[in-house]
Structure 1
Amino acid sequence: MILELVSYIGTAFGFLFLTLSIASGLYYISEIVEEHSEPTKRILTRAIYGIIILLVMLVVFDQFPIKLSLFAIVSHIIYLQNLKTFPIISLTGPTFIISCITVIINHYFWFQYFNNIEIPPQFRYDPNYIPRKRASFTEVATFFGLCVWFIPFALFVSLSAGDYLLPTTADNKKTDETRDTMDETRFKRKTVGLARVVINSVRRNIFQIAQMFGYQGNDPSFEGLGI
């Protein structure tokens, strides 16, 4: 009984440490991406085109379902639209919302495809029917990781959810009256990664809960937001 209780506690702590490790990794990657936005945009663009080519090859050589593969290709074309304003993104914009919906639908359809091992009714009594080869766990995990999850996860880490405008005064005055008016006040855009916003929100909520139990200290999430 005691050993079983200890195993439950150990599992809970293991899950907690794993979650913290993933969150720390996402936070660190998000900071790197913010400093190298242009190379990240090129890498994501090439990755999307590469996955589209891979899906076409799976249809040609492995007889993957055409309709489902076309939907996956269209989904990646939608993901590509997010890169037009990279790394800035509007969480209420139609492109981002449609991208979130396609991620869920893509996952559901492909999960149903790989999980469906039933013999079609018209072939149940056919002795010559050869059932479709069932993919192994490694094959399914690799396909989901590359063709379903990779781009949405990369976009989640790379895109910025908000921006702050910091006014600065121009040093040199322009002779042209119009240009002088435009350059009198400039705006420098500072972006905050979407992953950092989510992680900081969770940290803030945890901090508020800890305060309810008497914990005293500074909220660490404000440092991550640069406030």
Structure 2
Amino acid sequence: MWFMYAISWIAFIIIAICLTISVAAGMYYVAELIEEYTTVAKRIIRFILTTVTCLNILLVLFETQFTWTLCSIGILSNLIYFFILADFPVIGFLSPTFIFSMILLVIHHYFAFSFFNNNYYPFPEILAYFTIFVWMIPFCFVLSLSANDYVLPQYSEPQRTHYNDDTILNNGGDVVTNYFRKRAKNFGLLSFMRSVQDSILPTRNKKF
């Protein structure tokens, strides 16, 4: 009996590793699609936002146990996401709208955990609520961070460089120079996955 028990744990670990690799590969593929088709991605995220907002309203109507406070926080979070989506794919991490959305996300988690702690629901229904109403839209924005790295600049703040002999680089309005200088510091999900891929997977050198 102990032998089959050990085999079952080995099989479980193998399945977990395969699922993790599959999810990572799927995220990598979706992030590349969002980077290439930002307009289509914006439409899809807007459709998801509208659908989740309508589902929040229907949740109040058909599920009497859900409090108005919890559903109102969900609707307010979606409204803030609409403001973030207006500048998509540009996402300002230090903007008041983004910071407020992160605060609402934490508050939403707190009220959701408190509600399900006081009211019994089966685990699949709890997982469905968190997946659709809490995690889905922020996850879409996380996948879209790679598209934020490849947005062309529109203006540049004056700044001095260490290239004192080059008059073009000393020009504070040179947006192209500042753009390619900042491109070296990408923090998107796709950039992180590419760095992990380059560090883990072996590279093939062409032989001539």
> Does the alignment reach a TM-score above 0.5?
yes
RMSD: 3.4
Is the 8 Å Cα contact of residues 55 and 73 (structure 1) preserved in structure 2?
A: yes
Is the 8 Å Cα contact of residues 34 and 144 (structure 2) preserved in structure 1?
A: yes
- What is the alpha-carbon distance in structure 2 between the residues aligned to residue 13 and residue 101 of structure 1? 37
With normalisation by structure 2, the TM-score equals 0.67
What amino acid maps onto 1:109 in structure 2?
F
Is the 8 Å Cα contact of residues 157 and 193 (structure 1) preserved in structure 2?
A: no
Q: Quote the offset at 1:92 in angstroms.
A: 4.3
Task: Give the counterpart of 1:88 among 90, 93, 97.
Answer: 90
Q: Quote the offset at 1:56 in angstroms.
A: 1.9
Deviations 1:114-158 (A, max 9, x none): 2313xxxxxxxxxxxxxxxx4333333322222111111111112
- What is the alpha-carbon distance in structure 1 between the residues aligned to residue 4 and residue 34 of structure 2? 45
Match of 1:69?
Answer: 71
Match of 2:142?
Answer: 156
Match of 1:55?
Answer: 56
Task: Give the counterpart of 1:100 among 85, 99, 102.
Answer: 102
Q: Quote the offset at 1:25 in angstroms.
A: 0.1
- What is the alpha-carbon distance in structure 2 between the residues aligned to residue 200 and residue 95 of structure 1? 29
Match of 1:11?
Answer: 12
1:43 and 2:44 are equivalent in the alignment:
yes
Is the 8 Å Cα contact of residues 89 and 162 (structure 1) preserved in structure 2?
A: no
Provide the aligned length of Structure 1 versus Structure 2: 176
- What is the alpha-carbon distance in structure 2 between the residues aligned to residue 137 and residue 72 of structure 1? 20
- Tell me, what secondary structure is at the counterpart of 2:91? coil
More strand by percentage: 1
1:195 and 2:189 are equivalent in the alignment:
yes
- Tell me, what secondary structure is at the counterpart of 2:50? helix
Q: Quote the offset at 1:31 in angstroms.
A: 1.2
- What is the alpha-carbon distance in structure 2 between the residues aligned to residue 75 and residue 143 of structure 1? 15
- Tell me, what secondary structure is at the counterpart of 1:107? helix
- What is the alpha-carbon distance in structure 2 between the residues aligned to residue 102 and residue 13 of structure 1? 37
Match of 1:138?
Answer: 124
Q: Judging changes above 3 Å, is the alpha-carbon distance between structure 1 residues 103 and 203 closer, same or farther for their aligned structure 2 residues?
A: farther
With normalisation by structure 1, the TM-score equals 0.62
Q: Quote the offset at 1:198 in angstroms.
A: 3.3
Is the 8 Å Cα contact of residues 90 and 151 (structure 2) preserved in structure 1?
A: no
* Unaligned 5+ runs, structure 1: 118-133, 167-184, 211-216, 220-227
Q: Report sequence identity in percent.
A: 33
- What is the alpha-carbon distance in structure 1 between the residues aligned to residue 151 and residue 40 of structure 2? 23
Is the 8 Å Cα contact of residues 34 and 193 (structure 1) preserved in structure 2?
A: no
Is the 8 Å Cα contact of residues 44 and 151 (structure 1) preserved in structure 2?
A: yes
